[in-house]
Chains A and B, each alone.
Chain A
Amino acid sequence: MFDFLEGYDLLGAFWVTVQLTLLSAIGSLVWGTVLAAMRVGPVPLMRGFGTAYVNIVRNIPLTVIILFTSLGLNQTLNVTLGAQRFDVINFRLAVLGLVAYTAAFVCEAIRSGINTVPVGQAEAARALGLSFIQVLTLVVLPQAFRSVVGPLTNVLIALTKNTTVAAAIGVAEAALLMKEMIENEAQLLLISAIFAFGFVCLTLPTGLILGWVGKKVAVKR
């Protein structure tokens, strides 16, 4: 029944999906945190930039962003992100696009977390003589992160599934292999089911583990 799988590197394709997910997750967590810091910061210019970025980027379809990285950045502006081989360039462009897009959602999740931290926490930190950056990194963000593990898990799961859009610029991840197999084999239903199962295998444990982590690190008040 599963004879048709021979000759296809199913694990390899999902491994690319995992790599896309992890690198984009780390990148968007960092960039999203910086954006959130800008949006709550005292500098009007940065606040404006953060707000504009989030509202523009989260309203553009991911497909458009990913295609822009390839057609706009790479083919028009010759951005190669330090790579020579075509497939490496596309992989990095896909990560860049996913980071740019996902960071907008990470930013908003973190910002909602910042709003759960009582004002008095920041006031007490400022009263000790801590700088804005110190208040944010030592007192506010550590508490904010703990309260948004749940929402960030949603973003991570969405990101895992969003990596399939990278197929649009030829990154050899799971969805591209699926498309190839559907074209070559007669087992349409079975192929879809296999890939659906593959993604559930990635995202379900993510949700369960991070759900447990969220409870574990919750701040008691």
Chain B
Amino acid sequence: MTEVSMAKEDVASTDDLVVLKNVNKHFGSLHVLQDIDLTVARGEVVVVIGPSGSGKSTLCRTINRLETIDSGTITIDGKPLPQEGKELARLRADVGMVFQSFNLFAHKTVLENVTLGQIKVRRKDKQQAEARARELLDRVGVGAQADKYPAQLSGGQQQRVAIARALAMDPKVILFDEPTSALDPEMINEVLEVMQQLARDGMTMIVVTHEMGFARSAADRVVFMADGRIVEQATPDQFFSNPRSERARDFLSKILHH
């Protein structure tokens, strides 16, 4: 009996990749994250949606501690998030991040952007890193741009390079902080397609987005946030066709009627 339950617990602990428990954060007097509990399983694609200022981006940024939290715990692959220093850096290497404003290193070529972390953090040699970088750049469809600088690329291309840069670290999970919000409309799809491919390949993803189409087609679970709280969590089908909370119904009625 005990053996069975032990085994069960083991399975549970290895399957839960990102666990937030009772997380609170304030920006001054603004209580931006309120008692957040969220568990993301290995291989799961969780899409976080909600109105502006609901705390979605902040939530995303706390997971690799770009934002600190006031109380609660965050564990990644069973390990609590370290405070500072080498431990934190090591953990961040395992948690990829894709930003709204791409944030490619402006003084480095596309190829160097994708090799930097591999060489300096993963300690790969330069040739290996470049081979891997070219493979990933091809995979996201910007292989031909490898020797250009970020400013010479379109927004959609830059964001795909940013995804390749995150993938190059072989992360356990990738956080997407509104990856298409700064893009021209015609470039949104090229980025979403790459993300959809990643989701199909089994990457664990936490995606903050306003793209309801992506949430519907790629998400395993939709998390709806409003005013610093997780109001509702459901499968995309359930959430979009039959939202339980008034707040979610109101939100959806505003964005889906056009």
Contact = CB atoms under 8 A, between A and B. Distances in A.
Interface of A: 42, 118, 120-121, 123-131, 134, 138-139, 142-143, 146, 219-221
Interface stretch (B86-94, B223-231, B234-242, B249-257): B86-94
Contact of A221 (B66, B91, B151): B151
B10 interface: no
Contacts of B92: 126-129
Given A143-B106, A143-B107, A221-B151, A127 B64 contact: yes
A219 B150 CA distance: 10
Given A131-B86, A221-B151, A139 B120 contact: no
A221 B106 contact: yes
10 contacts: A42-B84, A127-B95, A128-B117, A129-B90, A129-B117, A129-B169, A134-B120, A138-B116, A220-B149, A221-B151
Contacts of A123: 66, 99, 103
Given A123-B66, A124-B99, A139 B105 contact: yes
B105 A121 contact: yes
A138 B120 CA distance: 9
A124 B104 contact: yes
A136 B165 CA distance: 19
Given A120-B99, A128-B121, A130-B117, A219 B107 contact: yes
Given A220-B149, A221-B151, A131 B89 contact: yes
B110 to A, nearest CB: 14
B97 interface: yes
Nearest to B64: A127
B29 to A, nearest CB: 23
Nearest to B121: A129
A86 B104 CA distance: 54
A127 B169 CA distance: 11
Contacts of B120: 130, 134, 138
Nearest to A126: B92
User: Closest 10 CB pairs between A and B?
Assistant: A129-B93, A124-B103, A120-B103, A128-B117, A127-B97, A220-B151, A129-B121, A129-B92, A129-B89, A219-B106
Given A129-B90, A130-B89, A138-B120, A124 B105 contact: yes
Contacts of B149: 220
A146 B92 CA distance: 28
Contacts of A120: 99, 101, 103
Contacts of B91: 129
Given A120-B101, A127-B96, A127-B97, 16 more contacts: A120-B99, A120-B103, A121-B105, A121-B106, A123-B103, A124-B99, A124-B162, A125-B105, A127-B64, A127-B66, A127-B95, A128-B117, A142-B107, A143-B107, A146-B107, A219-B107
B68 to A, nearest CB: 12
A194 B90 CA distance: 61
Interface in B91-146: 91-97, 99, 101, 103-107, 116-117, 120-121
B60 to A, nearest CB: 11
A220 B151 CA distance: 6
Given A128-B93, A220-B149, A121 B103 contact: yes
A130 B169 CA distance: 12
Nearest to A137: B120
B19 to A, nearest CB: 20
Interface in B43-98: 64, 66, 84, 86, 89-97
A129 B95 CA distance: 9
Nearest to A139: B105
Given A42-B84, A146-B107, A221-B106, A128 B169 contact: yes
B113 to A, nearest CB: 9
Contacts of A143: 106-107
Contacts of B89: 126, 129-131
Contacts of A221: 106, 151
B15 to A, nearest CB: 24
A139 B121 CA distance: 14
Nearest to A131: B89
A143 B107 CA distance: 6
Contacts of A126: 66, 89, 92
